[in-house]
Amino acid sequence: QPDQTHPDDVYSMVIVSNRLPVDYDEQPDGTPGWKTSPGGLVTALEPIMRAADGAWVGWAGVADREFAPFENDGISIVPVPLSEDEIQEYYEGFSNDTLWPLYHDVIAPPTYHREWWDAYVRVNRRFAEAAARAADEGATVWVQDYQLQLVPKMLRETRPDLVIGFFNHIPFPAYGIYSQLPWRRQVIEGLLGADVIGFQRQADAGNFQRAVRRLYGYTTRGAVVEVPEGDDVRRVIARHFPISIDAEGFEQLARRPDVQARAKEIREGLGNPKTVMLGVDRLDYTKGIRHRLKAFGELLRDGRLSVSDASLVQVASPSRERVETYRQLRDEIELTVGRLNGDYSTISHQAIAYLHHGYPREEMAALYLAADVMLVTALRDGMNLVAKEYVASRFDEDGVLVLSEFAGAADELRQSVLVNPHDIEGLKDAMVAAAEMPRKERARRMRALRRRVRDYDVARWSADFLETLTGNATIRPGVRDD
């Protein structure tokens, strides 16, 4: 049983995200327990949270359960309950079937339901109230992602003493697309409650600023949005802070002898082909898995690749399986994989090793080491951490990253082989070029990529964001001046 903390305890740093860094995990015999989900965000924020006496506010991943706040590994956990209906309407509905497709340039059609919006407002209010209760006088509250865009304004209304940050992990679309949203004004207003609004790419911040000008007519100067407040003007900073990974951690994992042995074993298991290509994605329509399979299939059909010298490993980790679009996508992908394997595999060589599983981090690192070519062909992606993880793992300065220009990572990882995944011919050429790239060029590109990922890791990202946040909040009129 975890150590309980007092519900009235307050903290100087509060992170708010839809999911907590721990999931409620009941044993088969009914014994309650908690499982840490060591995502990148947790790794990034853990040191800051411990140093700053931090609390994390979020949902525990199960319906209709209330949990008292408790302490986990030096971080205070403040669970926010969600009912089954709210999970359907706020999470699977408005977050994943309205905002997600809309913000990813309507790759799938967004669904607009007024009941879903009502649930979104209600749940955002609950998160804001929980954060306000946990935050000490003058505390910093950092709200994460598209599920909680109304929280900054709700917090500012009840707690003007707080320093409020928001970071959007997914793209922010151009106004022509954003303007579809029936609640477009309310969402912008919700976000403008923050002192700093962070985006992945410069283009996302630009899209947001344009939406502010179009809908509210506020002046923007560089990264600053001037929000009128009575006779005063409140400065909100909206700019890009590209998220990153724990590069050092990934490299260390990849350097472990057992992980390297496992990488060798993976290649042997595939029949030691000359080229192992790899895709690692949540099974999501934004990731361009179908385009990748189409290109690979045509290369086999045209004889530019053969199954004896190339094989594709596709890890598609299960995701949002209760949303209909995701079920359909899974069916389509599995049909395609089955067809391609039927057409091209031999008894000794399989064309595509398709894995609908989640794997431990060690296995991910071994897969990265085993792959000659990493395929990141997203149609739209806020950043794409897989691209950065691949680079961080390749301490041997080998391997080629094929990267979609529609992933945020393309702004930084310029020495990858950049592709437009909609251009199937171009994608095929890039895949062949990557497979045939000379060792010297592979090393040259990988060295440059590694420099970027190591220099700008996730610790730098969070430090940058938080410095900008404290910097902006101290020049806020009428508020603290220290």
Q: Does 382 bind ligand GDG (CB under 6 A)?
A: yes
Q: Does 381 bind ligand GDG (CB under 6 A)?
A: yes
Map residues 288-327 to x or -, x wherever contact with ligand GDG holds by CB under 6 A: ---------------------------x-x----------
Using the rule CB under 6 A, which residue among 17, 34, 40, 212 binds ligand GDG? 40
Q: Does 243 bind ligand GDG (CB under 6 A)?
A: yes
Q: Does 35 bind ligand GDG (CB under 6 A)?
A: no
Q: Which stretch binds ligand GDG (CB under 6 A): 5-13, 120-128, 227-235, 378-386?
A: 378-386
Q: Does 453 bind ligand GDG (CB under 6 A)?
A: no
Residue number with CB closer to ligand GDG (376 or 437): 376
User: Rounded CA gap, 140 and 152, in Å?
Assistant: 12
Q: Does 374 bind ligand GDG (CB under 6 A)?
A: no
Q: Does 372 bind ligand GDG (CB under 6 A)?
A: no
Using the rule CB under 6 A, which residue among 153, 156, 169, 450 binds ligand GDG? 169
User: Rounded CA gap, 366 and 305, in Å?
Assistant: 24
Using the rule CB under 6 A, which residue among 384, 404, 468, 472 binds ligand GDG? 384
Using the rule CB under 6 A, which residue among 42, 55, 170, 333 binds ligand GDG? 170
Using the rule CB under 6 A, which residue among 135, 340, 385, 427 binds ligand GDG? 385
Residue number with CB closer to ligand GDG (358 or 478): 358
Residue number with CB closer to ligand GDG (11 or 100): 100
Q: Does 216 bind ligand GDG (CB under 6 A)?
A: no
Residue number with CB closer to ligand GDG (275 or 393): 393
Give min distance, CB of 165 to ligand GDG, in A.
Answer: 15
Q: Which stretch binds ligand GDG (CB under 6 A): 333-341, 343-351, 385-393, 395-403?
A: 385-393
Residue number with CB closer to ligand GDG (134 or 364): 364
**Which residues of the chain form contacts with ligand GDG (CB under 6 A)?**
40, 169-170, 243, 280, 282, 315, 317, 358-361, 364, 381-386, 389
